[in-house]
Amino acid sequence: MYLTVKETAEYLSMPESAVTELILAKKIRAVHDGEQYLVNRDQFQTHLKQVEKYKEIVEEILNEPILEDLDVKDED
């Protein structure tokens, strides 16, 4: 499914200008139909899955209990 720049911006929760900049920088693949850029929405699925995975990993790390300090003797 192809989205316009405006629809892509809404989908990614980004300003339209940022989406346009990413398209021009070739960070987002898009097709120009002569009037506007069209972006294939499916290209974001892998990225969004990875972001969710990283969020889960970070949440897991943050919720991990902190171990008590080992009784380390100073050798001074």
pLDDT of 74 over the 70 cut: no
User: What pLDDT is stored for residue 75 in this prediction?
Assistant: 65
Domains in the chain, please, with CATH?
Answer: 2-63 (3.90.105)
pLDDT of 41 over the 70 cut: yes
pLDDT of 61 over the 80 cut: yes
Entry pTM: 0.63
User: What pLDDT is stored for residue 36 in this prediction?
Assistant: 95
- Listing DSSP states for the chain in one string gives -EEEHHHHHHHHT--HHHHHHHHHTTSS-EEE-SSSEEEEGGGGHHHHHHHHHHHHHHHHHHHSPPPPPP-PPP--
